[in-house]
Structure 1
Amino acid sequence: MAQTDNKNHQYRFSGHELVLHDVSADRVLPGLLVRLGYETVFIVCSRSINKNTAIVERITNCLGARVVGLTDKVGEHSPLGNILEAARAVRDSKADVIVSVGGGSVMDMCKAIQLCISENVYERSDLLKLQFTLSDDGTEMLTTSTAVPTIRQIAIPTTLSTSEWTPVSTPIDEQTSLKARFVVPYGAPVAIIYDPDILAQTPLRLLVSTGIRGLDHAINTACAASPHPFASLLAEQAIKLFMENLHLLGKSGNRQAYLNCQLAAWYTGMGQMSVAHGFSHWMVHIVGPYGGVPHSDASCVMMLAQAKWLEGWAVEQHGRICGMLGKEQSSFHEVLSELLSALGMPRYLQDLGLKPHQLEEMIEPALQHPMVTLNNLRPIRNETELRAILDLAWNVH
């Protein structure tokens, strides 16, 4: 049965100053820099965006001499080596703000760059000492950084995974294949620019999969072990927008679907830092690097497995969401399975190309991860229960 006595009385705002929605990034960015008092810019973007679109060229042209540096060396999951190299370049450029153009890996990289510069840390071992700690009750991630933040980022998201809404950065440590975990003071962007025409240039499958990642964040907020009423309200509206619009992306003349998905990311982001997320949010940090699959693809599978795991435990939450979607007669996991099938997204670990031995290799890192087994509405307390939920992600029957 659901735990109805766990209440969260704290709402956490991530520290943004401005969100610009339904705008053209290259038109508003020069004025935004003036408004925020920035003069010199270092651009961090993905290589695919830099090489395959005119987005970065348009932004550099509109900023002119304000641009003092650029890197597109951003690997999948933001490798620490790339972060440290870029941090030195940003430091040497003397830029006073970073403009990120890309998805979660790009924005996470910029947060870690901010941490390096503020702490004056440019070696792997020193950076890893700054990983977050947990509050005594295990529900809140606490920064270990004590330096005054010296640089911020302005984010131009090209995906829907909502990284622009958190100060958390989880880059991969190439030496261990594990995710590092940082909470960066003022790591959430000082401003976000939501340009739907830029979003529409992201390859459709990638965009949809990151939308599922954003949806998973919203579901974790709505079905949290310790929910917050404001965060739940926003999350439920985000779920509705995602589920009604993801299948419309890529359809001719459906610009509004891109706007609605960006609104869904906004609603999700405004609430997700105020509650502790559960299994599906964190297990992708194990599946991604160990299985060699993108976070967003892993989210599809973990999101569905978690919905099955919570059946009978999140009756009120699942019932409210299904009712909102006009699916009162369906279980929530059935609704999610139908969505994933319609979008052509993976539903099981086999769909990700994983083998049984890879799943076995993930058990111990998942148990050792500080968050995977915490803060779940239906508890995951030991290896037996972890294997039970992973079995739901593995079996096709």
Structure 2
Amino acid sequence: MAEHIEHFNPDKPLPIITYGLPFEDAIAKHLTTTLSCKHPYLLISGTLSRSTNIVDRLTKRLSTEGAEVAGTCVGIRSHTLYEDLLPILAEMRKTKADSIVVVGGGSLVDAAKVLSFALANGVDSHEGFDKLGGEASDHGKDGKVDIRKPSEIPYMCASSTLSAGEYSAFGGATNERTHHKQLFFDPSPDNAGHRVIVVDPRLTLTAPPSVWLSTGMRAVDHCVETVCAAEPKPEATAAALQGIRQMIPALLRSKKDANDLDARLQAQLGAGQSMKGVVVYGVKLGASHGIGHQLGPQGVPHAETTCVLLPAVLKYNARVNRDQQKLVLDTLWDEPVVSEALLKQAKLDRETADLGDALDVIIRLLDLPRTLSHYGIGRDKLDSIATLSVTDWMCKTNPVPLETPARVMEILEQCL
């Protein structure tokens, strides 16, 4: 298969999306030519490392292009803990790594973004990470200048899942001492955009089915919240609806046949579409993401927060964006693979079912968890989750702004 290269943002040279080549060929080619780097630090999926010879293949292929690996980290714990990042930062400084290459899932992708940003700002402690987090507006309060330095070294990602974080300048990492998940946003998105995204469906075959399908729903969440945003944009809506048309049929096909590489490729390309609203057009996401950031440290896998929250968030927001939700709902019904599942398998009524109902059915057909109780989270934990959630800016940009813990509680109560 020939290589295909697409510009994620048609107005900018980077990032680019490449597919058609084996991942090691694409990484070696674009690391040394597109990014002009020769000393990468590797972040590799533990699952891929244990079940394949990926590290050896990649290292040997890089050496043929004159690149020498600075260091390798195999596996990282979910939610990208500060205590896991600090030794990597120390090793990257010691070896003078000039880039980061990720082959793996969302936690490693988050690590790459946070590490690049932290490296530029001299972070070497938990307190340093906490000070680095937040948007530029958080660091420019009361007339102060945001003195954080933008990321300096580029990264490239060959993802094995569908969370699609590799398309965004946002990164998340968790202070395991406080259980607070902090968002990091490079103050210079153009600088953070110096990356290459490698798509190879064969890399996804070792992902556990629950991880593959739940991260796919996370990408669907990006699409849905883009269309249903407080301030939607036509171009963003068009990209998001295209992502939905690719993603959900592909996920249902993947559930039926885990070895369907075309379905996996379509899901990967749809995941890229899911991020255009946020990254290219600046649409603000909402509560499914905002509350989800705080469910993670409570033991809910990053992508599965969508499966628990999104239907409830949509029902809560329907008071202000029902027409936007109908755009998504009509798109689902117009896809034969999806409509068959909704109608024949779930016997959903198109005239009475809303978007929350439809997504509830799809999530259940994918055999993904739907409740907080599945993770041992009961009503006794909701107050603390709600209190933390209102500090997340994505709760503030929800179509119905979640300005008090009581409003978050209305959503959480539906998720028990």
- What is the TM-score of this pair, normalised by structure 1? 0.88
Cα distance in 1, alignment partners of residues 103 and 400 from structure 2: 38
Name 2:82's counterpart in structure 1. Answer: 80
**RCO (CA 8 Å, sep 6+): is it higher in 1 or 2?**
1
In structure 2, do the counterparts of structure 1 residues 242 and 23 end up closer, same or farther at CA, with 3 Å as the change threshold? same
Residues 76 and 107 in structure 2, CA contact (< 8 A), matched pair in contact too: yes
C-alpha deviations, 1:371-397, integer Å up to 9, x for none?
Answer: 253112234332332221222222xxx
Shift of 1:361: 2.7
Residues 136 and 146 in structure 2, CA contact (< 8 A), matched pair in contact too: no
Name 2:354's counterpart in structure 1. Answer: 331
1:216 aligns with 2:221: yes
Residues 37 and 98 in structure 2, CA contact (< 8 A), matched pair in contact too: yes
Aligned ranges 1:286-325 → 2 under 5 Å: 286-289=294-297, 291-325=298-332
Residues 224 and 328 in structure 2, CA contact (< 8 A), matched pair in contact too: no
In structure 2, do the counterparts of structure 1 residues 203 and 390 end up closer, same or farther at CA, with 3 Å as the change threshold? same
Secondary structure at the residue paired with 2:229? coil
Shift of 1:135: 4.2
1:392 aligns with 2:392: no
Query: Which of 24, 32, 35 in structure 2 is aligned with 1:34?
Result: 32
Residues 285 and 394 in structure 2, CA contact (< 8 A), matched pair in contact too: no
Please tell me the root mean square deviation across aligned C-alpha atoms, in Å. Answer: 2.3
Task: Work out the percentage of aligned pairs sharing the same amino acid.
Answer: 25
- What is the TM-score of this pair, normalised by structure 2? 0.84
Cα distance in 2, alignment partners of residues 134 and 388 from structure 1: 30
Name 1:5's counterpart in structure 2. Answer: none
Residues 161 and 265 in structure 1, CA contact (< 8 A), matched pair in contact too: yes
Secondary structure at the residue paired with 1:169? strand
Query: Which of 156, 159, 162 in structure 2 is aligned with 1:160?
Result: 162
Cα distance in 2, alignment partners of residues 362 and 69 from structure 1: 37
Name 1:247's counterpart in structure 2. Answer: 252
Deviates more, 1:22-31 or 1:189-198: 22-31
Cα distance in 1, alignment partners of residues 307 and 26 from structure 2: 34
Residues 155 and 189 in structure 1, CA contact (< 8 A), matched pair in contact too: no
Residues 68 and 93 in structure 1, CA contact (< 8 A), matched pair in contact too: yes
Residues 111 and 188 in structure 1, CA contact (< 8 A), matched pair in contact too: no
Residues 284 and 394 in structure 2, CA contact (< 8 A), matched pair in contact too: no
Cα distance in 1, alignment partners of residues 259 and 33 from structure 2: 34
Shift of 1:54: 2.5
Cα distance in 1, alignment partners of residues 211 and 22 from structure 2: 22
Name 2:269's counterpart in structure 1. Answer: 263
Query: Which of 106, 114, 117 in structure 2 is aligned with 1:115?
Result: 117
Cα distance in 2, alignment partners of residues 112 and 383 from structure 1: 28
Name 2:405's counterpart in structure 1. Answer: 383
Query: Which of 64, 67, 70 in structure 2 is aligned with 1:68?
Result: 70
Cα distance in 2, alignment partners of residues 372 and 117 from structure 1: 26
Shift of 1:144: 4.3
In structure 2, do the counterparts of structure 1 residues 337 and 157 end up closer, same or farther at CA, with 3 Å as the change threshold? same
1:272 aligns with 2:283: no
Cα distance in 2, alignment partners of residues 333 and 50 from structure 1: 38
Cα distance in 1, alignment partners of residues 94 and 53 from structure 2: 27
C-alpha deviations, 1:250-280, integer Å up to 9, x for none?
Answer: 5165211111101111101222231111100
Aligned length: 376
Residues 45 and 75 in structure 2, CA contact (< 8 A), matched pair in contact too: yes
In structure 2, do the counterparts of structure 1 residues 332 and 299 end up closer, same or farther at CA, with 3 Å as the change threshold? same
Residues 224 and 377 in structure 1, CA contact (< 8 A), matched pair in contact too: yes
Cα distance in 2, alignment partners of residues 364 and 245 from structure 1: 37
Secondary structure at the residue paired with 1:42? strand
Q: Unaligned regions of 5+ residues in structure 2, if any?
A: 1-8, 139-144, 334-338, 340-349
Name 2:43's counterpart in structure 1. Answer: 44
